[in-house]
Structures are given as structure tokens and as C-alpha cells.
Amino acid sequence: MEEVELDNILYYIDEDNRSATVYRISNHDYEGKLEIPQCIWDDGHMYEVREIADFAFDGCEGLESIDIPDGVFRIGDSSFCGCSQLKEIDIPPSVREIGKRAFEDCGSLRSINVDRNNKMFCDIDGVLFNKTQDVLIDFPYARGGDYDVPDGVVKIGDNAFAGCEDLVEVYLPESVLEIGDHAFSHNVRLRRVKMPDTLLYIQDNAFDDCQELRSVETYRSNQHSDDDTLSKEIGASAFRFCTSLEDIDIPNSIEYIGDFAFFGCTDLKEIALPSTVTEIGECAFNNCSRLKTAVIPQAVEIDLLTFSGCTKLKNIKRN
């Protein structure tokens, strides 16, 4: 493909389809507002801008705002990663795909606004959802305080809240069945999470390195799910290095505790697994140095590494 540079933007030209892809910003020190045109001209031919490539604006710290034209159908993986001055972004009607971590580490981002005519996505008060509003996709980095996830949301998407520096408390409604991979990882001020006891799946690294997380509480839900496509587990490293975690209620639906799930939770003093748990992964509670009491279902096997480094553990009860 031919490469063209126009107004600080590098494009790939697809002559066969008469389309252009935003490939890179030519100057990573660019500051201020940038406008992507709906069409560009090269050598007497017009090309419609259809895509923003993976990592296109990655690390452009001075970018404050950007106009994405109607006609762009894809915003690529990590395309605006590290755009620390970007305060809001508008998604036009044409966008059908938003890649993984598209707005990762955008420390000033307060709002992701979606045109009401977009058929794939929507926003609720600047938070990005799929059109049916059952998957929360992206919570803007600069939003803080407490957040109640709207009722009807079934899944918290991968990386949805990851790295949000000012988020303090999160409430998950009883409709939520799944928390995605790295969904809340590296949240430096997150202190409390409340979730339904019917939640089925906390994926790998979901709360990894939330060092201020102190309490994970469950509440009784009247909802019941027949969704057999989801694992009933707390995934690998799900709460790894949650060094302030003192209390956690394990949802009653959980059957498996993954490898290193609570590794390094040094403030955890007691753990009680529900009778539904049938297996504990490798090193699940390794280095929980203040753990004193563990309640484990009778049929669950414990190996030498399950509680390795738990120097204060004196009592393992069977339920």
C-alpha cells in the first residue's frame, strides 16, 4: 500500500477500494486539536477515510481533541493509548468496531460520546456500552468517586475500568454475571466493591494490583442464570497483590479458585469458601502472610503450595 502524509497524519492508501487508513501521526509532539478529514486526495484521486489503525496516535501526549469523521468504521487497538491530554472523544455513527485498550492511559479522558445513530455502541453519561447496554466496554480514566453500574449490564468488559486512578467504590447490579479480564486492574484508589452472590465468572487479573482495595462484599440476589457458557470461577491472579484486602465474600456460585488468585493479599486474615467450590488452583493463597483462618469445603484437595508463605495460618476448617 502507498503511504501519504497530509496535515500531520500518515495514511495508507488502498487504490483498489479507494479508501484510506489513518496509519500514524507524523509528529508525536503535536499539541492541540486534530481533524481527520472524511476524504483525502492524492494524485488526482479521492480516497474515503475508513479506519484508524492500531496504535495510530499511541503516545501523542499533547493531543487535546480529535474529530473523527462519519465514514470511519474501525478504531484500532490502543489507537489513542497514552493520549494524556485528550479530554473527550466523539464516536460517529459509522463506527462498528472499537479495538482493545483503544483509550488506555488517557489520564484526562472524562467522556466517550457516541452518536445516537450508531448501531453498535452507545454511551450512558459518557461511559461506553454496546448498543443493547448489557456490556460495559470502557469507563473514562479521569472519572472518579463512586460508580453504580446500570441495571441490565451482564458483563463488565475486559480492561473496562483498568487504571482508573480516582475510582473509589463500585456497585454491580444483580444482572452482572461476568467481570472481564483486567477489568479493574491497577486501580490505585479503589477501596470497595459490592457484587451479587450470583455472579459466575471473575476473569484472570480482574482486580490485579488494586493495592487500596479493602473490601469485596456480596449481597443476596433473587436472579438466577441458566447461562452454561460461562465458567463458574475466580480466574488466575484475579486478586493478586491486593495488599490491603481485608474482607472478601466469595459468590455462592463459584466452583473453582484459579492459580495465584489471591497471591500476595498480605492483609487478608480470613477466607471462607462456599460449599460450591470443588477445586483450588496452584498457589491460590500463596504469601497471604496475615491469613489466620481458612474455611475450605470438605472434598477440596489442598497441596503444599496452596497456602505457602501463610506464616500465621493456624486453623484450616472444613465445611
- Residue 109 and residue 78: Cα distance in Å, rounded? 14
Identify whether 274 is part of a domain: yes
Residues 6+ apart with CB under 8 A from 95: 68, 72, 73, 74, 75, 118, 120, 121
* Same domain membership, residue 201 and residue 90: no
* Same domain membership, residue 213 and residue 285: yes
Identify whether 128 is part of a domain: no
* Same domain membership, residue 285 and residue 196: yes
Q: What is the pTM of this model?
A: 0.95
* Same domain membership, residue 149 and residue 108: no
pLDDT of res. 229: 78
3-state secondary structure 139-172: CCCCCCEEEECCCCCCEECCCCCCCCCCEEEEEC
* Same domain membership, residue 316 and residue 181: yes
| Residue pLDDT tens, the chain, 319 long | 788 999 999 999 999 999 999 999 998 888 999 999 999 999 999 999 999 999 999 999 999 999 999 999 999 999 999 999 999 999 999 999 999 999 999 999 999 999 999 999 999 999 999 999 999 999 999 998 999 999 999 999 999 999 999 999 999 999 999 999 999 999 999 999 999 999 999 999 999 999 999 999 999 988 777 777 788 999 999 999 999 999 999 999 999 999 999 999 999 999 999 999 999 999 999 999 999 999 999 989 998 899 999 999 988 988 8
Q: Looking at residue 226, which CATH number applies to its domain?
A: 3.80.10.10
Identify whether 132 is part of a domain: no
Q: 142 and 107 in contact (C-beta within 8 Å)? A: yes
Count of structural domains within the chain: 2
Quote the domain boundaries for residue 181: 144-319
Identify whether 136 is part of a domain: no
